Each structure stands twice: as structure tokens, then as C-alpha cells.
Structure 1
Amino acid sequence: MRRLILIVAALTLLSLVAGCSSGSKSTRNAEYRQAGTLPPLEIPPDLTSPVVRNDTSLPEISSGQHASVTDAGGQRSAVLANKSNVEVKGRGDQRWLQIDAAPEDVWNRVRGFWLEHGFELEIDEPDIGIMETRWTDDPTDRPEGFLRKLLDRLYSASSRDKFRVRLERTDDNKTELYLTHYGVEQVVMEQQVRGNEDLVWQPRPSDPELAQEMLNRIMVSLGVDAQTSSRMLAEVEPERPQAELVKAGSELHVVVQDGFDRAWRRTGIALDRIGFVVEDRNRAEGVYFVRYVDRLADAGEKAEQGWLSKLFASDDERDSVKDGEKARVVVRGDDRETRVALQNAEGAAADPRRAEMVLERLAQQLR
């Protein structure tokens, strides 16, 4: 009898539990059926996905096109809509821009220009106003379209280029923009020992036309009409200021028949062109702090000679300029004439034979 009572009690308890469970499930189902549809999740504007571009080729420039840059929110805005905000300065085959904007603002836009068109930056230092792209194959020798990045690992052009931009602040808080082109090319070198041929990289002269075309594209990205920018670049005064290497006793310097302001700018361009890195500068004191760099080191697997060893080779190894060696280039002058001299890293007079090699190359660029 007692056992029967326990069985009945257990069955009763199970029935109660089952009933509660069934009621709860029915209630949840009813609530689910009555629930409305939630609105779609909205993504804040600043978190929208950027457009991914596989095409790294430079676009064609139409006469009415005003290039722009993309800000953090994905919105595109014109940089400098008025062409009067950008002026072209220079002489001969040298060109630079004077922009009516602070260097900090110009830096961001020019940096965006390189990245937007698929260039990678090897040097990106806004504190000293210098950015430099990595070596890239000649755009005219490379395939266009989305296959370009895919073929990067397999395709190697016979020439490579890089560009260096330097920004300087003027006294009235405007910006001067200087662009320099560097180029290398592959040549066949005969191996005397093995009797076969090998491909090596060697420097090729800076291409003023290529540099001017890139400067033209930067102007368009700053809001200047393409036809206007081309005309502005072509209308620069063709004459060149005179410069010569002068020896006065133990002193050696380059005399430039131009005022300090222009000679200072042109000396910076000349240093860029002959492959020196300007690590810092003090315009008030008239000093460029430079470092000699072998720019062929990262151009290819094999190089005929380093950039500096080719430009500054000497029969005496002690006179040769070494990769990574530091020095100072001193610029002194007035409104009519300027002198450029070389000092060692400590500010003392450089070795005369070494100074002659460096200043001769500077004089060639300043003539």
C-alpha cells in the first residue's frame, strides 16, 4: 500500500512539471509570433567600408577634372578650388610649387595623392617635411587595370623610378613643394670569368619631363585645372642662374649668382637630385644636415655600383664618400649672390678633395 502511494505521488509530480513546461513554451511561441521586425542596423558614417581599389595605375587627366582626396569618412572634397592658390616657380628644367596653405594641410593631401594612386611610401616624415616613394616600375611599361597588382610578383620592368617630395614653410606660412625624380635601369654586364652575361641595375639620369608630369598631376589633385596646370608649368622662365666652383686658398665653395632665398631652395633641389638625404635643415642659419645614401641598395638584387660610389668614386679609398656618412651643406648669401660650402658632421671644414667632389656635383645642378 505504501509503495502504491509513492508511485501515485511521483506520477502526479511529473504531470505538474510537464504542464508548466508546456505552458511556458506556448507563452514564448505566442510572444514570438506577436513580435515586430526590427529596423536594419545602421552603420555610422565614419565606419563605412572604404572602396577597395586594385588598380594602381594613374588615371587619365581630363581638362575639366578637379582631383580630390578622400577624408576619413569616405567623403571626397576638393582641396584647392582656386588655381590662384597654387603658383609654379623655377627656372630651366627645375620646377616647384608655392601653395597658399600651411604645410600640415598640404602634407596630408599630397600623401593622399601617392597612396590613392598605388604608390608606397618608403620615407614618411612630416616633422622634416619629406616623403619618398618606393621604387616602382615605369608606369608606361606596366600592364593596366586590376591585373597590375597580381602581376607585381612576376613582372619586372627594365627601368624603375621613385619620387621624393620636400615641403618647406615660407615666412608667410605658405608651402613650397619640391619634387625630385630618381631612376635606375637594367643593363647587361658581361661576366669575364664565366664568359656569360648578367643583368644589373645602374642609375640613369633624372628625367625632368617625368618629374614635371608628376608635378602636373599633383597640381590637378590640389584643384588646378589640367590644361591650366600644364600651361603654368610651361611658362616658367627658361633662363638659369650662373654657378661656378671657386677655390680661394684652402677654401672651396660654389658661387651662385642669385639671392639667398632662391639659392637656398635650389640647393635643396640639387641635394635631392644627386642622391643625398636631407635629414634636417635650419634656414635661419643656412645649413642643410645631409646623409649620403646608396639609393641602389633597394632597387634590385644586383647593382653595378652604389649610387654614391658611382658619383663620388675616388682612386684613393680614403677620399671616397661612404654610404651613411653625414655632413653639412652651408648656404650663405644676400639678395644678389650666394655661396655654398661643405662641412663635416661636426661643422668643421670638410676634406678639400672630398669637398671638391661633392661641390662639383652641386655646381652642375645649380648652373
Structure 2
Amino acid sequence: MSMRAFRLAAAAAAIASLSGCTFLGIDFNDDKVQYESSNSRANLEIPPDLTPIQNDNRFQVPARPGVVSANAEAEKARQAADANAPTASKIVPLTVRAKVMKEGTDRWLRVNAAPEQLWAVVQDFWPSVGLVVREQNPKTGYMETEWAENKAKLPQDIIRRTIGKVIDFAYSTGEQDQYRTRMERNDDGTTDIYISHRSMVEVVTGADKESTVWQPGPTDPTMEAEMLQRLALRIDAEFNPNASAEAEAEAQKELAQQFKVEPVATRARIENGADGKAAAVVLTDNFDQAWRRMGLVLDRMGFEQVDRDRTAGWFLVRYLDPAYEAAQKEKRGFFTNLFSSDAVIDAPNYRIHLSGEGAETRVTVQGPDGGEDATGVAPNILGLLAEQLR
């Protein structure tokens, strides 16, 4: 019996068993977020090219002297952030300690506190919305959640309202989400917090339509905004416990307004080389803007960041291109593949280099040492990046 058939049978059995009971008074939450961690269900099978690659995340958050801890120092850092903020970014003060930063369709939080102060708050935030943190590295400011299903997307019909709380496993959205959080320390003592969303969708396959596979789905900017909004309020409540209910309601109202995404013009174009293949992506952003956008895009696309150097302008990532993988397996020969078909092809490292050119930034893909890419995959990566950076 397929999983879908099993769910339908379970639902039917539950309806019959509850025929003599009254559950119509159940109060269901209309919240946008009702996550059920995937570790309470069958494991989600991730395609090989999306499986997180174990690495020794070595990139360090840029150091700065001193640690902001006292309220006076925090206020001083906040004022400095206002004074030094780039004019291209619209900064909207929302709470005492958190602000929303806007650049095109991208949103992130700027908090006038050090990452050391914020780490535990972010760490506790994800379980508060029903998500389990599966990977974290305080040295790099990186956190990743388990895959989970958002039950808020299920239709709230009479059957689900009646029995959904009893056998919730019988219902499935066919989608699972994952979030990545990245914190970066700024020179003025503030911290930027980015949240990116990834999704997987369950697709029916086979001639009899009885089997399913998981495939990558689209990112959802509205869910990124939702989580950033909730995190901003969480930070405000943590550092301002005596705020009035009226102040909290006003902050939430302003947050909702500032997270509205408005359409923007295309900001990326591909430049081809003499061979007609993509040689670079040119962004109509200055370096600081391009750096922030690139970090978010790499997170959304699932690239594994191995290292980064903002001063030199590069991200070191691992990526296994499907065409490259197939070519490497073919090179091993028939008999090698016959007796070791499950042998894994190592994902190469690539350096994504950003070069500021005034109001524009040029993005190229290099080999891991900064030289020319020897795998032939650079044009493919540039094409993927250009699509996401538009």
C-alpha cells in the first residue's frame, strides 16, 4: 500500500471511530506557521546534490575590538549604525534593538548587539516555531533547521477540524521546508541576521502513480519575511521585557508593513566569453549590496559554504554539477562502475569572486585557488546564480 493510500485509509478509519463523538468545538489556529519537524515522520530523502556536505567551516566572522554588553554601549552602537548606514539601503527602526534592512526584494535584520549576545536568542527561536536545529556553528554564525512540514498549509475543512488533531499523520501537504540563519558582525558593533528558505515537494511517479519522490521546490520570500518578523519581535521581547502591550502591537504592525515585498527591475545580466559561454554575471549593485545578495542566494540554492573572505571578495563553495558527475563516472570505465555503482563522486570546490566596479559588481567563478576553473562547470554555476540574482 502506498503512503497516500495509507493516509486515506487511516482517515476513513478515524472518521468511523469518531462517529459518535463531538469534536466540532476544537479551536484551530489560523497561524501561518504550524511546523511539524520531519524527525517525527519518515525521513525525507534528499537528492544527492542537495545533501549537506560535511566540511570544516573555517570562515570566521570578522573580528572587532571589544564586546557590546552595557545598555549605554548598545545605544551608542545603534546610533553609530544609523549614522554609517548606506544610503542605498532603507533602514526602518522598529524596536529598541532590531531594525529591518531593505534592499530590493531582500530583507534582513540589523541588531545593535554582538553575535555572542544574540546566538542563544536565535538558537531558542527555532524551537519556538516548531523547528529543530540540526546543524549550527557559533564561530561562523551559521544555523540550519531540520526539514519540516508546515501544517498551516492544509485546508481547514470540516473533516480536518473534526479529526485532524487526533490522527494528524493522515494529512500531508506534500511539502517540507528548511531554513538557514546566518549572522555577520559589522565593524560598528551591530549584527546582521539573514534567514533563507528552501523547500522540497513530493511528486507522484510511476505508471501506477503509487510511488512518490522528493524534488527541490521554490523558495518562498513570504516565509523568510514571516520568520524575520517573528525573530525581530523575539529579540525585542528578550532585551525589552518591560515593554507595554501597546508598544508591542505597534512594533508588530510596523514590521508587517516593512516586510511587504515590492517588484524591482532586473539587476543581473550575463556576459559571455569568446566561446559563447557565460564568463561573468554583472550586478547593478555596489560591492556591499552584491555581497549581501550573494550570501542569501547561496543559502537559498543550497550551496555549501566552505570559506569566505569579504575583504578579498570571495565565497568558497562546494557544488556537484550533474553533468560533471556523469562525466566523471563515465571516465572510470564500465567495469569500475559495474562493481562500484554506489561510489560517490567528490564535489569540487569553487571560488565565487566578487569584484566591485563602482555602481556595479562583477561575479566570476574560479577554481578553489583563485585560478581558472578546470572542471568546465563555471558557466553552469554562473547561469544558476544569474537566474536567482535577477
Residue in 1 that maps onto 2:194: 178
* 1:263-315 deviation line (CA, Å, top 9, x unaligned): 011011111122212222111111112123xxxxxxxxxxxxxxx6xxx5439
- The structural deviation recorded for 1:253 is 1.2
Question: What runs of 5+ residues in structure 2 fail to find an aligned partner?
Answer: 1-28, 34-77, 79-92, 237-247, 330-343
Alignment partner, residue 49 of structure 1: none
2:388 corresponds to: 365
Letter matched to residue 354 of structure 2: V
Q: Which moved more, 1:115-124 or 1:313-322?
A: 313-322
Q: 1:128 aligns to what?
A: 140
Are positions 1:277 and 2:338 aligned together? Answer: no
| Cα 1:83–1:200 shift into 2, 3 Å | same
Question: Among residues 300, 323, 329, which one is paired with 1:314 in the alignment?
Answer: 323
Residues 1:106 and 2:118 aligned together = yes
TM-score, normalised via structure 2 length: 0.60
Is 1:264 paired with 2:291?
yes
User: Rg larger in 1 or in 2?
Assistant: 1
Structure 1: stretches of 5+ with no match in the other structure? 1-56, 62-79, 293-307
C-alpha root-mean-square deviation of aligned residues, in Å? 3.5
1:219 maps onto 2:246 in alignment: no
* TM-superposed deviation, 1:98: 1.6
Provide the rounded CA distance (Å) in 1 between the counterparts of 2:141 and 2:350: 19
What SS does the aligned partner of 1:359 have? helix
| Distance in structure 1 (CA, Å) of the matches to 2:128 and 2:363 | 38
Report SS of the residue matched to 1:95: strand
In the alignment, the residues of structure 1 paired with residue 263 and residue 203 of structure 2 have an alpha-carbon distance, to the nearest angstrom, of 34
- Correspondence for 1:199: 212
Helix, strand or coil at the partner of 2:259: helix
Are residues 249 and 173 of structure 1, via their aligned partners in 2, closer, same or farther at CA, if it must alter by over 3 Å?
farther
Structure number with higher relative contact order (C-alpha < 8 Å, ≥ 6 residues apart) = 2
1:365 positional shift? 1.6
1:287 aligns with 2:320: no
**Percent sequence identity over aligned pairs:** 34
**What is the rounded CA distance, in whole Å, between the counterparts of 1:322 and 1:344 in structure 2?**
17
Q: For the structure 1 residues 136 and 343, does the alpha-carbon distance in structure 2 shift closer, same or farther, using more than 3 Å as the test?
A: same
Measure how far apart 1:92 and its partner are.
Answer: 3.9
Q: 2:185 aligns with which of 169, 184, 187?
A: 169
Give yes or no for the alignment of 1:341 onto 2:357.
Answer: no
1:210 aligns with 2:223: yes
In the alignment, structure 1 residue 232 sits paired with structure 2 residue 263: no
Superposed, 1:2-151 pairs within 5 Å as 83=95, 85-141=97-153
How many Å separate the matches in 1 of 2:346 and 2:126? 28
Quote how far apart the aligned CAs of 1:331 are: 1.1
Query: Contact 1:252–1:352 at 8 Å: present in 2 too?
Result: no
AA in 2 matched with 1:261? D
Q: Secondary structure at the match of 1:90?
A: strand
Distance 1:228 1:200, change over 3 A: same
Secondary structure of the residue aligned to 1:239 is: coil
Which structure 1 residue ranges, 4+ long, deviate > 4 Å from structure 2? 57-61, 141-144, 147-157, 319-323
**CA distance in 2: counterparts of 1:352 and 1:82, whole angstroms:** 47
| CA distance in 2 between partners of 1:101 and 1:319 (Å) | 48
2:272 to 225, 247, 252: 247
Q: TM-score, normalised by structure 1?
A: 0.64
Per the TM alignment, residue 347 of structure 1 is displaced from its structure 2 partner at its CA by: 2.7
The answer to whether the 8 Å contact 2:324/2:375 transfers is no
